[in-house]
Amino acid sequence: MDIKKFLHNKMAVIGGIITIIMVLSAIFAPMLTSYGPLDMVISDRLKAPSAAHIFGTDTFGRDLFSRVLYGARVSIGVGFSVSILTMILGMTVGLYASYYKWLDNLLMRVCEGLKAIPATLLAIALMAMLGASTKNVIISLVIVSIPDIARISRSSALLTKEQTYIEAMYALGAKPNRIIWKNIMPNVISPVIVQTTYIFASAIIVEAALSFLGVGVPAPEPSWGNILSEGKTVIYNSWWMIVFPGIYMALTVLGLNMFGDGVRDLMDPTSH
């Protein structure tokens, strides 16, 4: 990828910067705030933003700024784990489906079936059955997102497979695994990475929705969905409980989407 061209794309650069700031603030949360996300001070409950608590406090008197920062760890952590796992598993499915015809039919039918169930709904149903926990959120979201990556990597892999050099590799007697991972995979990776940034963003949204509904990351642990869900109960007198975590989440998703769009435009010459 051409770095100069990338820097020229304002959207992608701004998106990338926003994403990096969000990730850094999550990583360095303990240095940015002196309050713990679980420290309760009952006498300080539902205090409006002030110098002591810049985002205010929640229903248990916990510092909201600290909860939003630590919530970023949970939410971005879930998004990151989901996107990496989905990328690896989805690409494996897509690559093998493209290489073996008998497998193609089977795997693609399974993906289509999974895709037919709306992602949020399937994730809610999976969480209802598996029980609320961070690990289960990741499992559900990976299951829901695999078909997207599988489809994209399969279609690029099918195009690559037709190339003469792959035929030559085959004729030379290269093992299928070698052809798949060493020769086909590098041609598939760029569209997969673009799609992965979108999955990152949507995983953050769906995780927040699940936690908001009470079937995601279980309570005292902060996640943006949890904080918002608590905020809903006090919406009439504590606006800060909605506005701050909301802006934080929307900015993160916005950053990821802008970055994804920018990278996609870079890789696709027809969009210029």
Partner 1 sequence: MKKYIIKRILYIIPVFFVISVVVFLLIHLTPGDPARIILGDRATEAKVLELRETMGLNKPIVVQYVDWICGFFKGDWGQSVFMKGTMQEILLEHIKPTVSLSIYALLLALIFSIPLGTIAAKHRGSMADHAISVFSMFGISIPSFLMGLLLVLLMAVKLNILPSSGYKPIESGLLLHIKYLTLPAISLGLMEAGLITRMTRSALLEVLNADYIKMAKAKGVHPFVLTFKHAFRNALLPIITVIGYSFIDLLSGAVVVESIFNIPGVGQLIINSIVRRDYQVIQAIVLVIAIMNVVINLLVDLIYGIADPRVRLDK
CB of 194 to partner 1, least distance (A): 15
Is residue 231 a contact residue for partner 1 (CB under 8 A)? yes
Query: Least distance in Å: CB of 143 to partner 1?
Result: 9
Q: Which of 154, 149, 144 is closest to 192 using CA atoms?
A: 149
| Cβ 195 vs Cβ 83: under 8 Å | no
Residues in region 237-266 near partner 1 by CB under 8 A: 239, 242-243, 246, 249-250, 253-254, 257-258, 261
Q: Which of residues 189-208 bind partner 1 (CB under 8 A)?
A: 201, 205, 208
| 99 versus 248: smaller Cβ distance to partner 1 | 248
Q: Is 131 in the site for partner 1 (CB under 8 A)?
A: yes
Amino acid at 128: A
Say if CB 219 and CB 38 are below 8 A apart.
no
Which positions ≥6 away from 51 have C-beta within 8 Å? none
> Given the complex with partner 1, which of 117 and 159 has the nearer CB atom?
117
Quick check: 14 binds partner 1 (CB under 8 A)?
A: no
Cβ atoms within 10 A of the Cβ of 186, count?
A: 10
Question: Alpha-carbon distance 178 to 268, whole Å?
Answer: 28
Handedness of CA 75, 200, 150, 145 (dihedral sign): positive
Residue that has been written with the tokens 């994804």 in this structure: 260
- What is the four-CA torsion angle of 44, 49, 51, 55, rounded to 10 degrees? 100
Judged by beta carbon, residue 41 or residue 254, the one nearer partner 1 is 254
Taking CA atoms, 257 is separated from 41, 142, 168, in Å, by 38, 19, 39
Please give the span between the terminal C-alpha atoms of the chain, in angstroms, as a whole number: 15
* Span of 35-43, 51-59, 105-113, 184-192 interacting with partner 1 by CB under 8 A: 105-113
Interaction of residue 219 with partner 1, rule CB under 8 A: no
Minimum CB distance to partner 1 smaller for 31 or for 129: 129
What's the min distance (Å) between Cβ of 212 and partner 1?
Answer: 6
* Residue 218 engages partner 1 in binding (rule: CB under 8 A): no
In this structure, how many other beta carbons lie within 10 angstroms of the beta carbon of residue 112?
Answer: 11
Does residue 133 interact with partner 1 by CB under 8 A? Answer: no
Binding-site member from 30, 36, 118, 186 for partner 1 (CB under 8 A): 118
Binding site residues, partner 1, CB under 8 A: 109-110, 112-114, 116-122, 124-126, 128-131, 201, 205, 208-209, 212-215, 228, 231-232, 235-236, 239, 242-243, 246, 249-250, 253-254, 257-258, 261
